[in-house]
Amino acid sequence: MWSRVGSRRFWTETRTLLVVVGVLVSAVFMYVAVRGAHPRQTLEALRATNYALLVPALALLAAAFFIRAVRWRSLFAPGGKPPFADIVASQFVGYLANAILPVRAGEAAAIVALNKRARTPIAEGTATVFVQRVEDVLSLVLLLFVMLPWLPDLSWLRAAAVISVALMAALVVLVILVLVFGEGVVRLLARPLGWLPFVPKEALERAPAHFLRGLAGLVTPRIALVSFGWTTLSWIVLGFGFWVVLRASDIHLSPLAGILVVIGIGLAMILPSSPAALGVFEGATVVVLAAYGVGDSVALSYALVLHLLNVLPLFAVAAALLLVRRRRRTRTAQALRGEPAPASALLRDSALEP
């Protein structure tokens, strides 16, 4: 059995290695994104963008966000579904953390947030997030091969096929092990968590049962079909949003091109990367649009606008929520001290009264 010092050192070194790998992956993708682009042409494409069209695109991205929240909630077994508001809030925390932290640490942030808000066990939340990632990849690959007759030649098609076959094989093996051995296989897989000094033994004992319950999206056909349907719908809606941004960038392609951009970015983000998938997002987008003959400069301009549209609203919403919370705390503190509320607040409250 490892000592606490040894286990802490192991996890620290592992985390550092993942961060380094993420930075290297982002650097490679960023090189792919900018190697054929010309700064002047990219700036001209940015100036020519129809930014008014970003409003409907943003609406579609928001719709996809809420569809994915519905998907996450559908993965919980009946009788144990967290409130939808808690799912939305926790998912938002995860998105925001992914924009700030490397190696997709937002997944862990979403799990912890759901545990604090809805008291969902960490192991159960982890299992549902694991199922989400599996469904994400399978859905993207399915969409890719369904659209294949209408797509241009893709240099990365074979890699996508290999990923899908490997993932399906691993998934079948996992489902068989869970159905045959139940908690035993989960307990074996969870044993390395005992090396972590901050994991209580009581929680570790209960973790296998909770994790197994969170795998309902894999072992229960009805839950799996419903959640997979929501997953696929979210990608399609997101793809239409990406297509609207294509129109805003004066790139006249079919809506399938927007979905293909979603597929390319989604598959590339399997790899660890820097915060907000910087570099990976742009590189994958440029590679996808190159199949349509779009120049690197124009494709890079589109990728930058699209990336900002995915990230900036998160910070805007977070800032707005912080401002609202601060005002509420100020008014609560004034009420406790017996101080009158500000005149602006009184006018606002009176305007809301019937």
SS (H, E, C) 282-346: HHHHHHHHHCCCCCHHHHHHHHHHHHHHHHHHHHHHHHHHHHHHHHHHHHHHHHHHCCCCCHHHH
- DSSP single-letter state for residue 122: H
Model pTM score: 0.87
Residue 336 lies in a domain: no
Residue 15 lies in a domain: yes
Residue with tokens 């997709």: 104
Q: What is the pLDDT of residue 6?
A: 54
Q: What is the pLDDT of residue 195?
A: 58
Q: What is the pLDDT of residue 350?
A: 46
Count up the domains in the chain and report the number.
Answer: 1
Distance in angstroms (rounded) separating the CA atoms of residues 345 and 349:
6
Residue 346 lies in a domain: no
Query: What residue type is assigned to position 235 of the chain?
Result: W
For the residues of 42-96, what is the DSSP string, one character each?
A: HHHHHHT--GGGHHHHHHHHHHHHHHHHHHHHHTSPTT-PPPHHHHHHHHHHHHH
Give average pLDDT by consecutive 10-residue segment, the chain, 354 residues. 54 75 90 95 97 98 98 94 97 96 89 94 90 93 94 88 80 78 71 57 73 88 96 98 98 97 93 89 96 96 98 96 89 73 49 46
Give the length of the chain. Answer: 354
Domain that holds residue 181: 4-329
**Strand, coil or helix: what is 166?**
helix
Q: What is the pLDDT of residue 120?
A: 93
Distance in angstroms (rounded) separating the CA atoms of residues 132 and 217:
9
